[in-house]
Amino acid sequence: MPSTTPAPGKIHWVARLERRFHAWRERVARRKGRTPTAVPFAGYGGEGWIRVLGRVLIVPAAKGERDGRVASVRGWRSFAGIPVAYASVTITVGDATHEVAADRGGVVDAVIPAGLAPGWQTYRMSVEGGDPSEGRVFVVDPDVRFGVVSDVDDTVMVTALPRPLLAAWNSFVVHTHARQPVPGMAVLLERLVRENPGAPMLYLSTGAWNVAPTLTRFLSRHLFPAGAMLLTDWGPTHDRWFRSGSDHKRDNLRRLAEEFPHIEWLLIGDDGQHDDEIYTSFTREFPSSVAAVAIRRLSPAEAVLAGGRTAVDDHSAAGVPWVTGDDGAGLAERLEAVGLLKA
């Protein structure tokens, strides 16, 4: 599938500078014999289709690595990796092969036809004829009527850092074992998916794709249910210095409502970002797509580091349950009261 590069005159000068810098890094790396690696992330799908997510990177050599390719990309190596713009990526589902194109930041986000059974399924992703990496997608059964969308920073993971430093700190400095989950959130999310068999679980965050491998390990280690990752790409766009995290969340929520019009989503976030505002707007636009909203209240210290606490408005007229709590146990208790969890 050929990619179309936007005309240079329509791209912000910072974005053009970033692209030239990465192109120079790519040329240097290739001269040293490095080759791209396709890194798939957990995706999702529906009847007859899947949304595959991943990134094409040239990453630093790992200790003891004998060739130019790697089996996994972890921590600082993900951040130091060189994104390969507009790479042609091969997606293999069963016996069918599809060619898709990465974007300017090397991110792969494509919907392809696939007749897979409901539940977790696998596919293969490769680039430039290299060894394929196995990706996973959760295929939603057409009979499912409930799903969960959860924020990450300060909702499932305690960050206690100013927002601009989160991703860099989490990937460069803090070991996976040192990160702390929000108390009770893993139990809450596990109860939700266990009581609703087949329910899709999605982690929607403003975090960068660079942290996806680290985040996956964190969630697994702390027994959070597996779910698709919907992260974003830092850096300039065609018309601004940095991508809008709020727009990223709004766009993906709208997309889910359109892809799964029969599903009602439980939206989980915190009061330290714009989650309440985003969820309010989404509920107004797609009232039939929202089962309930659950907002975690940050502690005073967390709120200061998050840039303040957003006032959670009165949602008594929203038409859907709107609950708040300090942690997973508090939210679970309130969700039990409104019938979203079994008491």
The pTM is what?
0.84
Range name among 184-193, 274-283, 330-339 with the lowest pLDDT average: 274-283
What integer pLDDT is reported at residue 301 of this predicted model? Answer: 60
Is there a contact between 305 and 162 (Cβ–Cβ < 8 Å)?
A: yes
Q: How confident is the model at residue 315 (pLDDT cuts 50, 70, 90)?
A: confident
% the chain with pLDDT above 90: 56
What integer pLDDT is reported at residue 82 of this predicted model? Answer: 87
| Residue pLDDT, tens place only, 228-279 | 999 987 544 444 434 456 889 999 999 999 999 999 999 999 987 688 999 9
Is there a contact between 38 and 89 (Cβ–Cβ < 8 Å)?
A: yes
Considering the chain, what is the average pLDDT of its residues?
A: 82
Sign of the CA dihedral running 12, 5, 70, 139: positive
Between 113 and 67, whose confidence is greater? 113
Range name among 2-6, 48-52, 89-93, 110-114 with the lowest pLDDT average: 2-6
| Residue pLDDT, tens place only, 9-44 | 455 555 567 677 767 787 888 888 889 999 999 999
Which of 254, 140, 116 minimizes the C-alpha distance to 197? 140
What integer pLDDT is reported at residue 33 of this predicted model? Answer: 85
What integer pLDDT is reported at residue 178 of this predicted model? Answer: 54
N-to-C CA span, the chain = 51
Domain ranges of the chain: 8-139, 146-337
Which of 46, 36, 35, 57 minimizes the C-alpha distance to 209? 57
Q: Residue 215: is its pLDDT beyond 90?
A: no
Alpha-carbon span 83 to 236, nearest angstrom: 14
% the chain with pLDDT above 70: 73
Alpha-carbon span 142 to 262, nearest angstrom: 8
Q: How confident is the model at residue 325 (pLDDT cuts 50, 70, 90)?
A: very high
What integer pLDDT is reported at residue 6 of this predicted model? Answer: 39
Two tokens, residue 16: 């053009």
Q: What is the mean pLDDT of residues 153-182?
A: 63
What integer pLDDT is reported at residue 271 of this predicted model? Answer: 87
- Candidates 1.10.10.10, 2.60.120.380, 3.40.50.1000, 3.30.460.10; correct CATH number of 146-337? 3.40.50.1000
Please list, in sequence order, all residues whose beta carbon lies within 8 angstroms of the beta carbon of residue 297, skipping any fewer than 6 positions away: 270, 271, 309, 312, 324, 325, 326
Q: Tell me the Cα Rg of the chain.
A: 20
Q: What is the mean pLDDT of residues 306-317?
A: 58
Q: How confident is the model at residue 95 (pLDDT cuts 50, 70, 90)?
A: very high
Between 18 and 6, whose confidence is greater? 18
| Residue pLDDT, tens place only, 280-292 | 999 999 999 999 9
